[in-house]
Amino acid sequence: MNDNEANLANVVSQMANFSSVDVNSLGVPDFLAVLGISLLASFYIALLYNRFYQSRATGSQAHHAFPLLGLSVTSIFICIQFSLPLSLGLLGALSIVRFRTPIKEPEEVAFIMLVIASSICCATFNFIFLTVILGMAVVGMLVARWAQKRSRGKLPGGMLTITLAFEEYKMISSELIAFLATRIPAGTLDGTQESESTATVSYSFPALQADSLVEVQNDIRSMASTARSNLYVHHAGAL
């Protein structure tokens, strides 16, 4: 068996065991193999970000940094295992680092923590834990998506407000409310607000197709010449 085969066999044996590995005996091929696995895990998490989150994200698109973040965290945790004073000094240095730009979406924090957890697993040669973490992450996101779809019909997705002249509203109020109940059957009437000159009708809905919304607005304008409608969306996917 040549040196390359021996190094490959050593890496495979380390992957098969999640017990502590003597980092002092870690060679360059082993270090490169660990970094490669960490890089693959980071790319996989970036794919999960694209699949489950990017389409509705309004944040900073943090997944572009996942590969570099994974390599950095893995390298740091491997290096600090060589020296206790180095690890304490690094802890003190990192304690003064502050990120001035806030993360806009809480889901991005969860993905960043997942990258860090997978990187620590790679740095400590806990590859079985790495597989379990990534697998459970997929299961958790699938369950969350299923629960979101189940509850979407029960949560208000948006609100349609219609403002028109008060005199015209008195003549068509019953017809307007019946029309909204027919065209948006899953919606609910939140209330009406009247003043001396205008009246406002607020109608909530769980989901509404964009083309259906245009038709509803056109029909409302044909019913009342003074009608003006506004749409407010509470969460992504309502339209």
Q: What ranges do the domains of the chain cover? A: 3-151, 158-233
The answer, as to whether pTM is greater than 0.75, is: no
pLDDT digits (tens, 9 = 90+) for 206-238: 766 666 777 887 888 888 888 888 877 655 544
Identify the CATH class of 158-233. Answer: alpha beta
| Sheet containing strand 188-194, strands side by side | 188-194, 198-205, 158-165, 228-233
Kindly list the distances between the CA atom of residue 40 and the CA atoms of 33, 35, 122, 202, in Å, as whole numbers in the listed order: 11, 9, 11, 50
Q: Is 4 a residue whose pLDDT tops 90?
A: no
Beta bridge partners of 205: 158
Quickly state the pLDDT bin for 19 (edges 50, 70, 90).
Answer: very low
**Which among 18, 16, 108 has a CA at the least distance from the CA of 58?**
108
Beta bridge partners of 124: none
